[in-house]
A and B are shown apart, each in its own frame.
Chain A
Amino acid sequence: MNPLDGNAIGGLLHEVFGTEMTAAVSTCANCGDTGPVAQTVVYLDAPGTVVRCRTCSDLLMVFTRVHERICVDLGGLAALEVR
C-alpha cells in the first residue's frame, strides 16, 4: 500500500503529545528538511507507525503500542516546533 502522510496520524500524535501536532514543524536530523508534520511520509501497516522524511526517507519518528503503553522514538528529529 502507498504510504500516507502525517494527517493520518493526527489522532495518535494528539494522544502522545496532548495537542494537535499535524501543523507542527519538524526538522529532519539527517538532511535538515523542514516542513509540517502533515507532510511527512507515514507507514501505517507495519507492526508500528513509522514516520519518514519526505526528502531523504530517513526515520523521523517511530511509534509502537505495547500493551497499554505507547513507545515513542523521536531520535530522527533535529527539532519539532509547535506553532
Chain B
Amino acid sequence: MSPISRGFHGRRRTPPGEEGRVPPGQYVTTDFPVLSAGPTPHTPTEKWTFSITQGGDTKKSWTWDEMRALPEENVTTDIHCVTRWSKLDTHWQAVSIDTLLAQVEHQAGYVLAFSDGGYTTNLPVQDVTGGQAWLAYGYDGGPLPPEHGGPARLLVPHLYFWKSAKWVRGLELLDHDQPGFWETYGYNMYGDPWKEQRYAGD
C-alpha cells in the first residue's frame, strides 16, 4: 500500500461551476500542453495535401488552397486529453469533415486518419460526420502552430484528444475498425471521455 503523500493534491483545479463540463478523472488547465510521440513535422502548405483513400487508391485529394476555399467554420469547444488534462473553450478555425467526406462516394464504416511522421488513429465514420469533426488549420485566430499539429490537424472533441490527429494528411476509408498507433498499444478503440474509455476493455 503506497503511503499517502500528506498535502499533495496534484493539479486538480476545476473552476467552480464547471464540474458538469469536465469528464471523470480530468483536471482543467489553462495551458495548452504539447504532447508528442516524435519530432515535429514541418510540412510547407505548398507541399501539403489532404486525401481520402481506400484500398490504396486516392479517391479525392485537396491542395492547401483548395481546402482553404471550402467553407470555414469557427469552432469553440472543450477538449479532453487521455493524460487527464481538459481545456475549456478552445477556439479553432476549420473545415468540417462532413464537407470533405461529402465529396466522396463510399460505404465505409470506419476511417484511419494518417499523419506526417507516421501517426495514425481510427474512428467510426459516424463520429467524424454529423457536425462532430473538423480539419482545423487555425487556433485562437492565428495559424495552427506546428507543435499543436499545424498546418492542419483533425479535431474530434467528443472523443479523447489522441483521436484528433496532429499533422493529419488524410483519412483512409475502412470496412472494419482497425487500431491506430495508440490503440495498438492498449488504448481504447473508441475513446469516449464521458465513459472514461481510456484503455482497451474500459
Spell out A's residues near B (CB within 8 Å). 1, 3, 43, 45-48, 50, 52, 57, 59, 62, 64, 66-67, 69, 71, 73
Contacts and interface: CB of A to CB of B under 8 A. Distances in A.
B159 to A, nearest CB: 13
B185 A48 contact: yes
Interface string B101-116: 0000000000000000
Interface in B175-202: 182, 184-187, 199-201
B35 interface: yes
Interface in B28-54: 33-39
B34 A47 contact: no
29 contacts: A3-B36, A3-B39, A43-B38, A45-B34, A45-B35, A45-B83, A46-B35, A46-B36, A46-B83, A47-B82, A47-B182, A47-B187, A48-B37, A50-B38, A57-B38, A59-B38, A64-B182, A64-B185, A66-B185, A66-B186, A66-B187, A66-B199, A66-B200, A67-B199, A67-B201, A69-B186, A71-B185, A71-B186, A73-B184
B185 A62 contact: yes
Contacts of B37: 43, 46, 48, 50
Contact of A73 (B35, B36, B185): B185
Q: How large is the interface on B (under 10, 10 to 19, 20 to 34, 35 or more residues)?
A: 10 to 19
B167 interface: no
Contacts of B118: 59
Contacts, number: 50
Given A62-B185, A64-B185, A47 B33 contact: no
Could you say which of A46, A57, A67, A69 has the most chain B C-beta atoms within 10 Å of its C-beta?
A46
B162 interface: yes
Contact of A45 (B36, B185, B187): B36
Nearest to B81: A47
Question: Quick one: which of A45, A47, A66 has the most chain B CB within 10 A?
Answer: A47
Contact of A47 (B39, B83, B200, B201): B83
B178 to A, nearest CB: 17
A3 B182 CA distance: 19
